[in-house]
Amino acid sequence: MIARPALPAPVRPDVGASTAHRYGTATLVVALGTACALLWVTIANDLATRGLRINEMIGRRQDLTMQRAGARVALGIASDPRRLAERAVQLGYGPPDDVAIVIATVDDGATFAPQPFADVPDADSPLALWLAGVQHGDARVRPWYAQLMAIDGWQAQPQAAAP
Amino acid sequence: MSRAVPARQSRLQVLALGTTLVVALLGARVAVLGLARSDAPPAGGNALAAQRGALWDRDGVVLATESYDRYDVTVDTATLSDASSAAGALAGILGLDPLEVAALLAQPTGRWVNLAWRATPEMAAAIDGLGLVGVATAPRQSRVYPLGDLTGHVTGFVDLDIQGHSGVEGFYHDELMGFAGRRPGTYRTDPLAYVPPRDGADLVLTIDVDLQAAARAALAKEIADQGAEGGTVIVLDPMTGALLASVSLPDYDPNRYSAFAAEPRRFIDPAVGSIFPPGSVIKPFTLAAGIDAGLLSTGTTYNDTSPYRFGGIQVVNPDRTSHGVVTMHEMLRLSLNVGAAHVAGTLGPERFHAALAAFGFGSPTGIDLAGEVDGMLYAPSDDGWSEAYWALSSFGQGMTATPLQVAAAMATLANDGRRMVPHVVSARIGPDGIAQPVPPRMAAQVVSPATAQTMRRLLADIVASKLTEAAVPGYGVAGKTGTSEVPSRFDPSDNETIASFCGFLPADAPRAVIFVKVDRPQEDTTGIHVAAPLFRAVAEAAVQTLDIAPRAGIAMLGGAP
C-alpha cells in the first residue's frame, strides 16, 4: 500500500482581537436595531389599537345615539296633548271644553284656587273618590279640624278615674 | 481562542432569533393594518356628524329631535363584483327600475353611487341580508317633530341638507348644528387624527304645548264657525316677554314640509312674518302716549263730530255718528276714531310717531324666530309721508304691524310701561348637559308705571262694561278689540275685515297677554263678535295651564276710572 501523504490541516481563520471587536460591534448594532424596531412596533401597535378602540367607541356612541333618538321620538309622540286628550276621552273623562270649575270656600270666606274635575268615570278610581264629595256633596268644605273632630271616637274622652 | 467560536455562534443565533421575531412582529402588524385597511372607509368619508340639538317645551316635551329610522344605500362600484345581478336585487328591494339601476352602476359618475337616501329599516335589513360586497347601508340623520303641525310655525323645519329654515330652526341653526368631527384616520388606526364631534346645544323653549294645543283648537273652531281664511293666537308673559303659545292657521307639518312646496307662504309664520292693519287695537297706545306726555287725562273732553276733517282726510267713527262732548275714557270705551285723531293732533306728528315707535311699531321686536318683519309706521321724515298717515295711524289704519308687535305693545302696558324683548328660548343645554338660562331683556321704559296703570284700568273697564264676550268669570280682564278693513278677495270694490282682540289677565297683576286675530270672517265681521269669544276661550285655557288664581280686576285697581 502506498501510504497517502497526510493532508495538511485546514487553515482556521485567525480571529484576532480586531475581528472580535467588529463582531461585537455588529452584534451591538443589530441588537440596538432590533430594540428600536421592537419599540417602534410596540408604539405603532399601541397607537393603532387606540385608533381601533376609538373607532369601536364611535360605533357604540352612534348606537346609543340612535337608541336615544328613538326614545325621544316615542316620548314626544306620547306627550302630544292632543293624543292625551283623546286618550282621556276614551277612558271616560270629559273633553277639556266640558271641564267644570268648582270654587270651594271655607268658613272664613277664603277662596281656594279653582280645581277642575271631570265626570266620574269609575268608582274605583282614586280621582273619583276625591271628586265624589265635591261633586255631590256640600260645596262648602269644612275646616280640617272640623273634619277631624267628626271622626267617631276622636272626641276627647274623660280620663278614667284612678282606682 | 477555541472557546470564542461557540460564543460567536451563540450570539449569531440570538441575533437571528431576534431578527426573526422582529420580522414576525412587523408581519403581524402589517396583517393587522391590512385587515383594518380591508374595512374600507364609507362613502361619507371620515367626517363624524354632530348631533343637532333637540328642542323642548317649557315642561320637557320633545318638540324636535334627531331620528335614524331612514337609511342611505350606497354602492362602492370599485369593489362590486357583479353589477348586473346586484342591480336587479337592489332594485327589487328598493322599488326602483332595474334597468336604471344597472345603468347607474355600469357607468357611475364616481366611485360611490347613492341608490337611496330614505330606505326603510326593512329595506336596509333585506339589503344587508343579500351580503353583497360593496353595498352598504347606513342610518341617515333626519329631523323629526313629534307634535307635527302643533308647533310647526314655532319650530320651523330642517331640510335634507340639515339646513334649518323658519322659526327656531332657522334662527338658531348654527347653535343647533354643532361641529362635525373626524374619524381616527383613513384606516381607523390613527388616534392623532381623531377629532370628536361637538354636538349642537339643546334649546328649551318658552312654549307650553298644553296651552298651544288649546289655543290651536279654539282658533280652528272659530275659523270654521266664521268661515274665515285663517287666524293667529299669541300668548305672552308680559313680565319676561316669554312666548307661551303661538298658533297660526293655516299651518304646516314640518315632518312633511316638502308637501307644501307649492305654497311657500305656508312657511311664513304669520305671528312674526305677516303684517296687517291693526285697527282700533292701536287706540290704547295712542291714548297712553297722550296721557304720558301730560297733555291729556282720562277725564279730558273733546267735541266728537263725525266726520272730522283732520290730516287731509275725513275721519269717521265706526258707528258713523257724532257723540258730542265725550271724555277720553268714553272715547276708548266706544272706540271712536275721531277721538283717537284728536289725541294724535294734540301730540303732533313727530311726538305721535315717536310714541308708537317706542311701543315697538315699525321695527322688529327682536324675537329669536327667523323671518320676523318690521311692519310699516310712516315717520314725518319719510319720503311720501302725508298728514293722512298721522291721522289714520291714530286708529290703526294708516300703518301695518305684526301680531307679535301688537301683543308686545300690550304687554308693555301690562308690565308697568316696561317693554320686554319677546323671546322663545329660555335655556340652552350644552353637550356637557349644563343648562344656561337665557335671561329676559328689557327694551325700554316706554311710558310711566302710572300711565300704564291708568291704561290697565281703562281697558279693564272696557271689558267689564262693554266687551263681556271676552270676560272670564272670576278674573279681571283688560283688553281692546280691533276691526280693520282690507280689500275683499271676491269683490275689489268691497271690503272684508280682520277681527282682532288684544288683552291680558288678571287685569291688576297680568300673567298672560293674549292676542287673537281672525282673518276675513264671513259670518260676522267685528272684533267684538269674532275675536272676543276666541280670546275668552284661550284665556280660560291659559288660566288652567298657567295656574292663574282668580282675581277680580277693577276693584283692586282702585275703582272705575
Q: What is the mean pLDDT of residues B368-397?
A: 91
Nearest to A111 among B15, B184, B550 (CB): B550
Q: Which of A16-25, B211-220, B275-284, B337-346 has the lowest mean pLDDT?
A: A16-25
Residue B527, SS3 per DSSP:
helix
What does the alpha-carbon distance between residue B36 and residue B17 come to, in Å, rounded to a whole number?
A: 28
Looking at the predicted structure, is the pLDDT value of residue B555 above 70?
no
Same domain, B129 and B216: no
Residues of B in contact with A113 (CB under 8 A): 547, 549-550
Looking at the predicted structure, is the pLDDT value of residue B111 above 70?
yes
Q: Go through chain A and tell me how many residues it has.
A: 163
Q: What is the DSSP string of A11-80?
A: PPP---HHHHHHHHHHHHHHHHHHHHHHHHHHHHHHHHHHHHHHHHHHHHHHHHHHHHHHHHHHHHHHT-
Cβ–Cβ gap B29/A44 under 8 Å: yes
* Mean pLDDT, chain B, whole residue set: 88
State how far residue B84 is from chain A, nearest Cα, in angstroms: 32
Query: Is any Cβ of chain A less than 8 angstroms from the Cβ of B547?
Result: yes
Query: For residue B476, what is its C-alpha cell?
Result: 279681571
Same domain, B126 and B266: no
What does the alpha-carbon distance between residue B59 and residue B108 come to, in Å, rounded to a whole number?
A: 50
Task: Tell me if B152 is assigned to some domain.
Answer: no
Residues of A in contact with B63 (CB under 8 A): 76
Residues of A in contact with B61 (CB under 8 A): 76, 79
Same domain, B376 and B244: yes
**Which residue, B144, B167, B187, sits at the end of a domain?**
B144
Cβ–Cβ gap A51/B191 under 8 Å: yes
Residues of B in contact with A59 (CB under 8 A): none
Same domain, B400 and B278: yes
Same domain, B117 and B251: no
pLDDT tens digits for range B315-329: 999 888 999 999 999
pLDDT tens digits for range B136-181: 888 888 899 999 999 999 999 998 888 999 999 999 999 999 999 9
In this structure, are residues B83 and B133 in contact, taking their beta carbons and an 8 Å threshold?
no
| C-alpha pair distances (Å), B257 with each of B50, B170, B213 | 23, 14, 20
Query: Is any Cβ of chain B less than 8 angstroms from the Cβ of A162?
Result: no
Same domain, B223 and B130: no
Task: Tell me if B126 is assigned to some domain.
Answer: yes
Query: For residue B459, what is its C-alpha cell?
Result: 281697558
Looking at the predicted structure, is the pLDDT value of residue B196 above 50?
yes
pLDDT score at B312: 84
| C-alpha pair distances (Å), B248 with each of B58, B215, B398 | 20, 10, 24
In this structure, are residues B243 and B203 in contact, taking their beta carbons and an 8 Å threshold?
no
Helices (H), strands (E): how many in chain A? 4, 2
Task: Tell me if B477 is assigned to some domain.
Answer: yes
Task: Tell me if B278 is assigned to some domain.
Answer: yes
| Radius of gyration for the alpha carbons in chain B, expressed in angstroms and rounded | 33
Residue B15, SS3 per DSSP:
helix
State how far residue B20 is from chain A, nearest Cα, in angstroms: 10
pLDDT tens digits for range B488-517: 766 666 778 899 999 999 998 999 999 999
State how far residue B245 is from chain A, nearest Cα, in angstroms: 14
State how far residue A109 is from chain B, nearest Cα, in angstroms: 14
Of B496, B515, B494, whose CA–CA distance to B504 is shortest? B515
Task: Tell me if B356 is assigned to some domain.
Answer: yes
Q: What is the mean pLDDT of residues B15-41?
A: 68
Residues of A in contact with B62 (CB under 8 A): 72-73, 75-76, 79
Query: Domain with B395 in it: what CATH number?
Result: 3.40.710.10
pLDDT tens digits for range B203-216: 999 999 999 999 99
ipTM rounded to 2 decimals: 0.79
Of B202, B252, B140, B545, whose CA–CA distance to A72 is shortest? B202
| C-alpha pair distances (Å), A28 with each of A21, B96, B451, B484 | 10, 68, 97, 100
Looking at the predicted structure, is the pLDDT value of residue A146 above 50?
no
Same domain, B375 and B469: yes
Residues 183-222 (B) with a CB less than 8 A from some CB of A: 183-185, 188-194, 209-210, 212-214
What does the alpha-carbon distance between residue A81 and residue A92 come to, in Å, rounded to a whole number?
A: 16
Which chain B residue has its CA at the smallest distance from A55's CA?
B188
Task: Tell me if B102 is assigned to some domain.
Answer: no
pLDDT score at B529: 87
Higher pLDDT: B137 or B407? It is: B407
pLDDT tens digits for range A37-96: 788 878 888 888 888 899 899 989 988 998 998 898 888 888 888 888 877 777 777 665
Task: Tell me if B285 is assigned to some domain.
Answer: yes
Count of pairs with CB atoms under 8 A, one residue in A, one in B: 132
Higher pLDDT: A20 or A53? It is: A53
Q: How many CB atoms lie within 10 A of CB B323?
A: 18
* Residue B188 backbone class (left: φ over 0; alpha: ψ -120 to 50; beta: rest): left
Beta strands in B396-447 (DSSP E): 418-420, 425-429, 435-437, 442-445
What does the alpha-carbon distance between residue A14 and residue B461 come to, in Å, rounded to a whole number?
A: 126
**Which residue, B144, B168, B195, sits at the end of a domain?**
B144
* Residue B366 backbone class (left: φ over 0; alpha: ψ -120 to 50; beta: rest): left
What does the alpha-carbon distance between residue A132 and residue A128 come to, in Å, rounded to a whole number?
A: 6
In this structure, are residues B140 and B149 in contact, taking their beta carbons and an 8 Å threshold?
no
Query: Is any Cβ of chain B less than 8 angstroms from the Cβ of A55?
Result: yes
pLDDT score at A103: 53
Query: For residue A134, what is its C-alpha cell?
Result: 265635591
| C-alpha pair distances (Å), B330 with each of B242, B304, B335, B339 | 33, 11, 8, 9
Higher pLDDT: A99 or B438? It is: B438
In this structure, are residues B146 and A77 in contact, taking their beta carbons and an 8 Å threshold?
yes
pLDDT score at A145: 38
Query: Is any Cβ of chain A less than 8 angstroms from the Cβ of B528?
Result: no
Of B429, B449, B454, B425, whose CA–CA distance to B439 is shortest? B425
Looking at the predicted structure, is the pLDDT value of residue A4 above 80?
no
**Which residue, B123, B144, B165, sits at the end of a domain?**
B144
Please give the span between the terminal C-alpha atoms of chain B, in angstroms, as a whole number.
Answer: 128
State how far residue A124 is from chain B, nearest Cα, in angstroms: 26
Same domain, B300 and B222: yes
Domain limits at B136? 66-80+111-144
> How would you classify the pairing of strands B55-56 and B202-205?
parallel
Query: Is any Cβ of chain B less than 8 angstroms from the Cβ of A105?
Result: no
Same domain, B216 and B138: no
Q: How many CB atoms lie within 10 A of CB B36?
A: 17
Cβ–Cβ gap A54/B194 under 8 Å: yes
pTM for this model (two decimals): 0.79
Query: Is any Cβ of chain A less than 8 angstroms from the Cβ of B35?
Result: no
pLDDT tens digits for range B420-462: 999 999 999 998 888 999 999 999 999 999 999 999 999 999 9
pLDDT score at B373: 95
Residues 3-22 (A) with a CB less than 8 A from some CB of B: 15, 20
Query: Is any Cβ of chain B less than 8 angstroms from the Cβ of A110?
Result: no
pLDDT-above-70 percentage for chain B: 93
In this structure, are residues B126 and B93 in contact, taking their beta carbons and an 8 Å threshold?
yes
pLDDT score at B8: 67
Number of domains in chain B: 2
C-alpha B413: how far from its chain's center? Answer: 24
Q: Which of A22, A39, A43, A52 to mutate to test the interface with B (most CBs of B within 10 A)?
A: A52
Task: Tell me if B76 is assigned to some domain.
Answer: yes
